[in-house]
Structure 1
Amino acid sequence: MKIKYSILFSVFVGLQCLTAQQILTPEEAVALALENNYGIKIANKNNEVAENNTSVLNSGYLPTLTGNAGATYNLDNTEVEFSDSRPDAVLNGAKSNRYNASINVNYVLFDGLGRHYNYKRLKEEYQLSELQVRETIETTIIQLFSIYYTVAQLTENTEVLEQTLVISKDRLTRAGYQFDYGQSTKLAVLNAEVDINNDSINLISIEQELKNTSRDLNVVLGNAIDHNFKVNTDIDFVLNLNREELYEKAKARNVSLLQVNKNIQISELDIKTGKSAYLPTLGLTGSYGWNENNNNAASFVAVSTNTGLSAGINLTWNLFDGGSTLTRVRNAKINLENQQLQKEQLLISVERDFENAWDDYQNKLTIFRVQEKNIKTAQSNFDRSQEQFKIGQVNSIEFRQAQLNLINAELSRNQAKYDAKLSELIVLQLAGELLNVQF
């Protein structure tokens, strides 16, 4: 049974018509990744194996039943001396055959509680496998949005450069008119042509980068959609994130910590399983058999047939096995101590990673807000320079500088926006909340 998360409840509707849509939303991207990503598929298959291992058929609690059958044919040359008064006999090619069949049952009544602890271990391993699936999903979602937001950023950057090229072409037209009417030199026209070429090259490069990154995104989605798609460039930040609350959740719900806790429980069961070898094993056996013998003429009995039931109880106690059980128990205890040390180490790492991720998120969110204000300043400066350029109060070099300032501000704003959103997702991942948010 695959792990079900709240994120799955609202994202699978309408996926079959995605190829007809132009915009790939974050919800649809997550749904496609959960359905088609090969890493997630493999993790789910491994989880199915772990679930199968928890079946009662793999518990050791059920009896074993075996069937046996056989047939023997003899062709003998026999010399017989009878103990009574009958004369001696010589038999050449004397035939005899035997047939047998049986059904045998074996059942272990008590094995020192070894199968009990082993069965509990299999259940813990299944829960560990579920956590591993969750970790794979979280890692895949972070990978997905790292590429998704890169596609979104490149999409907005492409729009910026397209608009830049339009403005540069208009500038070339104006420079040509000014040169024709003697209001400017040929140098202004040449500068405008150079800038158009540079803008065209930048646009061609970013369009190719956008195509390549879109293909990367489709790989994460299991190549489930047509390559001609766009992504949603609107970003909504999760409001009112509380640092202390998220930190407490990180210590309680971080998937890596949950896995090491599960490994500790498994190690404790390994110790108990090892100690079970100190106790005896008690078992029941039973069988029902049929035997038929067809003897040659030298035998006192020509044909004999036996059928019957047999049952027994056996007790096995390994009083000394050379110390192998003791060694296994000691090693299991050491492994438990290692798991506990790993947990302590992981707690320190999770605390550090959370603090770093939180500070990084706050810084990038601040940078994004500053870049938003910077856009307004750069846009106002560009609009004023454009108006002055049209009436000849600003030369082409000054106008180009204002244009470059606006371009750089827009590109920086785009990067800051998606960097901040990705940082937010990493904070939520560390806090174990990534699969509980609406994308």
Structure 2
Amino acid sequence: MRIKEQIFRNLLLYALLLFATGVYAQESCGLEYCVETALKNSLQLKSDNNTLAKYKASVGQVRSELLPRVNAVGTYQYSFDIQTQMIPAEMFGGLSGTYKEARLGVNQNKSESLQASQTLYNAPLLISLKIAKATVNLECLQIQGTKEDLIYNVSATYYNIQSILKQEQLVENNLRSMNSLVEITDRLYKSGLATATDANRLTVSRDNTSANLRKLRNNKEKMYNLLKILMNIPIDSNIQIKEFQENKSSLVEPFLPVSNPMLKTNYLQVAQGKQIAEMQLKSIKSSYLPSLSFSGSYGYSAFYNNANPMKNLNDKWYKSSYIGVQLNIPVFDGFSKKYQIHQKKAEIKNYEIQGEQILQQNSKEMADAYADLKSNYTSLDTQKRSLELAQKVSDDINNQYKSGLVKMSEVINSQIELVTAQNNYVDALISIKQAELNLSKAAGTLMK
């Protein structure tokens, strides 16, 4: 009987050692690869780049309004009935104060000319060019913000998967141990060396562990699907990320990085939007100013009294040309510009308020992220001590069990506590990586 009990203890201890044994999956793609792939394949970035190309083209379009306009014009006109004109009769010897109807001209008119025009001064147009360039800068900031969001989301998802992988390893080890314990306890129960309560407790614990493992694997699949969406690769792609490896040398005390909240992308976007609104306000005000343009034409005309495009009177073309300038002075527009100015001023004030709100939010996020990082480091120290203590307790219980001083339930409880401590320690390690990611986002250094 003693021999059977000793064999049982040895088998039980061997099975329980599986709690502390890790099984590591084959390494594959790292975080840097996932981020680079996401930035390369992002549909949102492709859309933003197309928008940027559109805004760059709009700069050229506005600039073209400042260049000369040259047109070649040709016309042909045949009048079935020449328009009647009223001419003073005294020109033909008639009575003064009377008029005589007359049809002047010929039925067929032809002309060809080269016409040119040039804007000499148009203040709103000059400001529009600056606005177009500022809009390009705003879209560049939008692209930068999209990249930062993508980097953050990919990194956060990556760390979540690493956490699940670690938890999955621990639960798999726990389940293997539970299966071994159930088999051993069933044999011992049949031999009268274990109670039905021991067997039932182990069966319940094994079933709960199995359900937890299924839940973890389901969450892992969802996280992998999210990562694939962020990377814009087929959802049925088979990818594996690198498992988290503890590197104690990389764990240094947290420090508050130097950061200027006014240099973060979200604030720069608001500042650029305000600048554009201010230029638009200036453009509205400048529309009160006169505009000056130049125009000119050089061409030839020909005439004939019948419908025959190939013939001209006297077989001649008659030259014509002119140059001129046009000055437009706004006088009254029904107060349209006045109300446009009021609207734009209100928009600028909203930008100022939004900028203050973002600065406050940026400062808060920075302080919160730093506080979380310090807290996670403190938690890591606590979990590390708990793990060391749980390991020591487990070793002591195992030694006492070999001597027959404790029951099997105490051995099981000590191993469960050890697994819990291992799990908490892994969570604390990965939480530091996530906190560092949040601090980098708050400091605006995700792109660095």
CA deviations on 1:247-295 (whole Å, 9 max, x unpaired) are: xx23232112212222232232223212211211111112233433332
Pair 1:69 & 2:81 matched: no
Q: Aligned pair 1:150/2:160, yes or no?
A: yes
User: Counterpart in 2 of 1:429?
Assistant: 441
Give yes or no for the alignment of 1:110 onto 2:121: yes
- Counterpart of 1:422, as a letter, is Q
Between the aligned partners of 2:347 and 2:292, the Cα distance in structure 1 is 30
List runs of 5+ in structure 1 lacking aligned partners.
1-20, 78-83, 85-94
Q: Distance in 1 between matches of 2:246 and 2:437?
A: 12
Name the CA shift for 1:195/1:334 in 2 (closer, same or farther; >3 Å): closer
Q: Is 1:325–2:337 an aligned residue pair? A: yes
- Within the candidate set 55, 62, 78, 1:50 is matched to 55
Instruction: Describe the shift of the 1:59–1:339 C-alpha distance in structure 2 as closer, same or farther (beyond 3 A).
Output: farther
1:305 aligns with 2:310: no
Aligned AA (1:35): K
Match of 1:29 in 2: 34
Aligned residues: 395
- Correspondence for 1:141: 151
C-alpha contact (below 8 Å) 1:36/1:224 kept by paired residues: no
> Are residues 1:101 and 2:112 paired?
yes
Which residue identity lines up with residue 214 of structure 2 in the other structure?
A: I
Q: Which residue does 2:95 correspond to in 1?
A: none
Q: Deviations over 1:292-330 (max 9, x none)?
A: 333229xx9465533443321111111222222233334
**Conserved 8 A contact 2:225-2:235:** no
Instruction: Report whether the alignment pairs 1:206 with 2:206.
Output: no
Which residue in 1 is equivalent to 2:367?
A: 355
Q: What is the aligned-residue RMSD (CA, Å)?
A: 3.0
Aligned-partner residue type, residue 225 of structure 2: R
Aligned to 1:90: none
Is the radius of gyration larger for structure 1 or structure 2?
A: 2
1:60 equivalent in structure 2: 65
Q: Distance in 2 between matches of 1:184 and 1:312?
A: 113
Classify 1:199/1:383 alpha carbon distance in 2 versus 1 (closer, same or farther; 3 Å).
farther
> 3-state SS of the aligned residue for 1:72?
strand
Q: Give, in whole Å, the separation in 2 of the partners of 1:168 and 1:391.
A: 22
Secondary structure of 1:183 counterpart: coil
1:73: Cα distance to partner? 4.4
Q: CA deviation at 1:172?
A: 2.3
Q: 1:334 to 1:186 in 2, by over 3 A?
A: closer
**Is contact 1:70-1:100 (8 Å) kept?**
yes
Residue 345 of structure 1: aligned partner: 357
Distance 1:73 1:195, change over 3 A: same
Distance 1:255 1:345, change over 3 A: same
Deviation of 1:214 after TM superposition, in Å, equals: 0.6
Which residue matches 2:98? none
Higher alpha-carbon deviation: 276-285 or 165-174: 165-174
Structure 1 Cα separation of the partners of residues 47 and 314 of structure 2 = 65
More moved, 150-159 vs 262-271: 262-271
Q: Distance in 1 between matches of 2:432 and 2:260?
A: 20
1:42 deviates by 2.1
Aligned-residue sequence identity (percent) comes to 23
Instruction: Give the direction of change, closer, same or farther, for the CA distance of 1:387–1:240 in structure 2 (3 Å limit).
Output: closer
My pick for the range that moved more, 222-231 or 262-271, is 222-231
Q: Which of 126, 136, 140 is the equivalent residue of 2:136? A: 126
What secondary structure sits across from 1:418 in the alignment? Answer: helix
Work out whether residues 380 and 429 of structure 2, in 8 Å CA contact, stay in contact via their aligned partners in 1.
Answer: yes
How far has the Cα of 1:163 moved from its partner?
Answer: 0.7
- The aligned counterpart of 2:182 is 172
TM-score by length of 2: 0.79
What is the CA–CA distance in structure 2 between the aligned matches of 1:238 and 1:271, rounded to whole Å? 52
Query: For the structure 1 residues 380 and 50, does the alpha-carbon distance in structure 2 shift closer, same or farther, using more than 3 Å as the test?
Result: farther
Shift of 1:391: 5.8
Which secondary structure does the structure 1 equivalent of 2:330 belong to? coil
Are residue 40 (structure 1) and residue 52 (structure 2) matched? no
Alpha-carbon distance between aligned partners in 1 of 2:113 and 2:254, rounded to the nearest angstrom: 71
- Pick closer, same or farther for the CA change 1:23–1:388 going to 2, 3 Å: farther
Name the structure 2 match of 1:190: 200
From 385, 395, 404, the equivalent of 2:397 is 385
Q: Is 1:295–1:303's contact at 8 Å kept on the other side of the alignment?
A: no
Q: Distance in 1 between matches of 2:254 and 2:135?
A: 34
The CA distance in 1 between the partners of 2:110 and 2:425, in whole Å, is 89
**Counterparts in 2 of 1:99 and 1:406: CA distance versus 1, 3 Å:** farther
Distance 1:307 1:157, change over 3 A: farther
Give the CA deviation at 1:98.
Answer: 3.7
Residue in 2 that maps onto 1:81: none
**Alpha-carbon shift at residue 355 of structure 1 (Å):** 1.7
Assess if the C-alpha contact under 8 Å between 1:290 and 1:307 holds in 2: yes
Q: Which segment drifts farther, 273-282 or 259-268?
A: 259-268
Corresponding residue number in structure 2 for 1:406: 418
The residue type equivalent to 1:118 in the other structure is S
Residue identity in the other structure for 1:170: S
Residue 254 (1) aligns with residue 259 (2): no
Q: Structure 1 residues 173, 286: CA separation in 2 closer, same or farther (over 3 Å shift)?
A: same
The answer to whether the Cα contact below 8 Å between 2:119 and 2:293 also exists between their aligned partners in 1 is yes
Distance 2:252 2:342 in 1: 51
User: Is the 1:102–1:287 Cα contact (8 Å) retained in structure 2?
Assistant: yes
